[in-house]
Structure 1
Amino acid sequence: MTEKTPTPPNRQDPHLDPADDTAEPAFDWMKPAGTGAGTAANAQGTTPAGHTSPVPGTDAGKGQPAASAGIPASRAGSPASRAGSPASRAGSPASQAGTPVSQAGSRADRKAAESAVEPAAEPQGRGTHFREPLPTSALQVRPPQDEVERRNAERELANNTKPVLPRVMQVLLAVFYPLVLLVLAVRAVASPLFLWVEYNRPGFPGDGYGFSADDRMTYGSYAVDYLSNWSGPRYLGELVNRSGDALFQEGEVSHMADVKLVILSTFGGGALLILLGIIAIIYLRRRSTGGVRRGLFAGSVATLVIILGLGTLAALGWQQFFTEFHRIFFANGTWTFALDDTLIRLFPGQFWVDSGIVIGALVLIASVATLILTWPTRKRRGLARKTNDKDTDAQDASATDSEAGTTDLPDAAQRRTRGNSATV
């Protein structure tokens, strides 16, 4: 006979279960852990009443168990081994004392033994049921009162504490604003347009040494363009007048180079402040509601204070103010010239007075406009009108009720669970 030999059609499968119980596992390691009583009963060959297993009139007296003789105790109708009998449900004293219950030859006998050895905590007449933890069982455990108060205090502190970075951005925006306005005003004055307006306005003093308005506009435009381009001192040093003489002396060219350094540094710093201010505005628009408005409002107030202070000093003593201003940026002796020098003939004292007035006026107008646009009205601060105060109180009360309902969630969940259990 080989592996390819066909199986006979009338061949019967071998009988592998001597206990005639098809539900019984074939091996001991396949049996549940709670079948110790049945295993002990099979090993010792005892009956539920504690007697040995031989049954008169059978082959069991020869040392075979009653189950192998074909007469299991559960099939014989013994009251102690019936799965549904009251003795097995209530737990007989013999089974509770650890006495082997029966020769558990079937699954029904093992279940009867397991139910007999369980604690007698269940009322008589009720079976043992497995109780799975409810989904809301964790909510039924309430923390101590001091823990609840501590958590509420931390939550309130976190809600009241404002982040630091938005405040820093607001302060920077308020500081940058007056400086940016001053730089923009200086740039507006240092232009050929303002130069043309000054030379052609009524009352502007003329040149007593022979420059006409057209000569002033031509030579003055060279000086103003030099302040904003990247040319060297030769841009002014090689200029000549109608007679062929040098237009600017060496000292004048050197001073204009110093002025150019200050002007370009001022414009570069202003461009950097504008870039940082835009970054601060973008950040505050995303992170802080009303942060841009508060920063610009504070900056406009600071600008008004600075302009009014400097204007007062300039009005009280313009010559002293002009001198101290030059001493801050230039070395002594490098910015004083004779009346017949080209710089004084192109830019007399009245030109600098008018420049100061225009700069102050531009900054003042911009700061006042910003102050008006960012004034903290009730609408801009997000506050409701007095007519809507009752609605706000009602909303706060509803929010408080919802929080209270959230706090009592474990009890509500427990009541719902009890109601569902009662319905079932």
Structure 2
Amino acid sequence: MKHLSKPCFFIATICFIVAFFLTCLDFNSFNHDFYKSEYDKLGVADEIGISRVELQETTDVLLDYIQDKRDDLNVSAVILGQERQVFNEKEIMHMVDVKDLYLTTMNVRMMTGIGFIVFGLLGILFDRKNALRNSTEMFIMGTVSALTLILFLGMYAMIDFDQFWLQFHYIFFTNDLFLLDPATDILIQMVPSQFFFDLVFRIAGTFLLGMVVLCGGCFYIRRKSK
């Protein structure tokens, strides 16, 4: 059964990488300080014609809805001097899809987290003597593969982010509700392309830093164990 140890550790590594990436996505996507910083940098409140206070309140409602902490997106604000509902029907329908996608990713994170524990324990049980060597070897192999993929996608995003972001939506959404009009739709005015560019690379940076540190730890452990 010793020959099953490495495959188990490799599966555990993949599960960990997916769970860790989704954790980085979750942490950064709902970081309210990041939103405030981006709004100030991009002049979002002035662009929309809304007060900074109401913009932040609207953002809180939006993020709470995505995280399933509230059931609707009914929020009003004074925009260009007139009080109105912030989001129109198309924007709300798109956010229904976004919420479903987010909740699905969190379920995937939970399942891969469980998978990491289960396959890690199996890897240890199949070959206790070489568990440390096998686990670090597979972790390094999986990390190199993940970093290569992230760097490739990062280069694609750097070269043509609009096309990268469009392809992301075509892959994960089954309709074109995400094609919003920046001239009329508040949602896209709140989070324009530059916002998502900064968010994507913030998520990628957090993930890469974490994986490099962990991979370095594995190299250190392997060296010490020898």
Is TM (by shorter chain) over 0.5? Answer: yes
- For 2:160, the equivalent position in structure 1 comes to 317
Q: Decide whether the 8 Å contact of 1:226 with 1:260 is kept in 2.
A: yes
Q: Secondary structure at the match of 1:241?
A: strand
Q: Decide whether the 8 Å contact of 2:13 with 2:116 is kept in 1.
A: no
- For 1:418, the equivalent position in structure 2 comes to none
- For 1:289, the equivalent position in structure 2 comes to 131
Q: Percent of aligned positions with the same letter in both sequences?
A: 23
Larger radius of gyration: 1
| Alignment equivalent of 2:37, drawn from 197, 206, 216 | 197
2:27 equivalent to 1:188: yes
Distance of 1:362 and 1:378 partners within structure 2: 25
Q: Decide whether the 8 Å contact of 2:136 with 2:222 is kept in 1.
A: no
After TM superposition, give the deviation of residue 197 of structure 1 in Å.
3.3
Q: Decide whether the 8 Å contact of 1:177 with 1:299 is kept in 2.
A: no
**TM-score of the pair, normalised by structure 1:** 0.48
Distance of 2:33 and 2:110 partners within structure 1: 21
Distance of 1:331 and 1:283 partners within structure 2: 38
Q: Decide whether the 8 Å contact of 2:6 with 2:135 is kept in 1.
A: no
Change beyond 3 A, Cα 1:226–1:363: same
Q: Secondary structure at the match of 1:307?
A: helix
- For 1:345, the equivalent position in structure 2 comes to 189
**TM-score of the pair, normalised by structure 2:** 0.86
| Alignment equivalent of 2:117, drawn from 275, 278, 286 | 278
2:15 equivalent to 1:171: no
- For 2:75, the equivalent position in structure 1 comes to 239
Gapped runs of 5+ residues in structure 1? 1-161, 384-424
Distance of 1:245 and 1:361 partners within structure 2: 38
Q: Secondary structure at the match of 1:177?
A: helix
Q: Secondary structure at the match of 1:211?
A: coil
Q: Decide whether the 8 Å contact of 2:10 with 2:139 is kept in 1.
A: no
Distance of 1:310 and 1:181 partners within structure 2: 17
Change beyond 3 A, Cα 1:292–1:246: same
Distance of 2:222 and 2:16 partners within structure 1: 24
Distance of 2:18 and 2:221 partners within structure 1: 26
- For 1:366, the equivalent position in structure 2 comes to 210
Distance of 1:316 and 1:379 partners within structure 2: 39
2:194 equivalent to 1:331: no
Alpha-carbon RMSD across the aligned residues, in angstroms, is: 2.1
One-letter code aligned to 1:321: F
* Counterpart mapping for 1:12-411 below 5 A: 163-191=2-30, 192-200=32-40, 203-206=41-44, 207-229=46-68, 231-232=70-71, 235-236=72-73, 238-242=74-78, 243-286=82-125, 287=128, 288-290=130-132, 291-339=134-182, 340-375=184-219, 379-380=223-224, 382-383=225-226
One-letter code aligned to 2:100: L
Q: Decide whether the 8 Å contact of 1:185 with 1:362 is kept in 2.
A: yes
Q: Decide whether the 8 Å contact of 1:205 with 1:350 is kept in 2.
A: no
Q: Decide whether the 8 Å contact of 1:296 with 1:374 is kept in 2.
A: yes
One-letter code aligned to 1:204: L
Change beyond 3 A, Cα 1:378–1:299: closer
Q: Secondary structure at the match of 2:181?
A: coil
Which one has the bigger helix percentage? 2
Superposed CA deviations along residues 152-198 of structure 1, whole A, max 9, x for unmatched, are xxxxxxxxxx6233122112023223312220111012212432332
After TM superposition, give the deviation of residue 296 of structure 1 in Å.
2.0
Q: Secondary structure at the match of 1:171?
A: helix
Bigger Cα displacement from structure 2, 164-173 vs 206-215:
206-215
Superposed CA deviations along residues 314-341 of structure 1, whole A, max 9, x for unmatched, are 1111111011011011134211111231
One-letter code aligned to 2:154: G
Q: Secondary structure at the match of 2:76?
A: coil
Distance of 2:222 and 2:199 partners within structure 1: 39
Distance of 1:301 and 1:177 partners within structure 2: 14
Q: Secondary structure at the match of 2:219?
A: coil
Gapped runs of 5+ residues in structure 2? none
One-letter code aligned to 1:347: V
The structure, 1 or 2, with the larger RCO (C-alpha pairs under 8 Å, 6+ apart) is 2
Q: Secondary structure at the match of 1:245?
A: strand
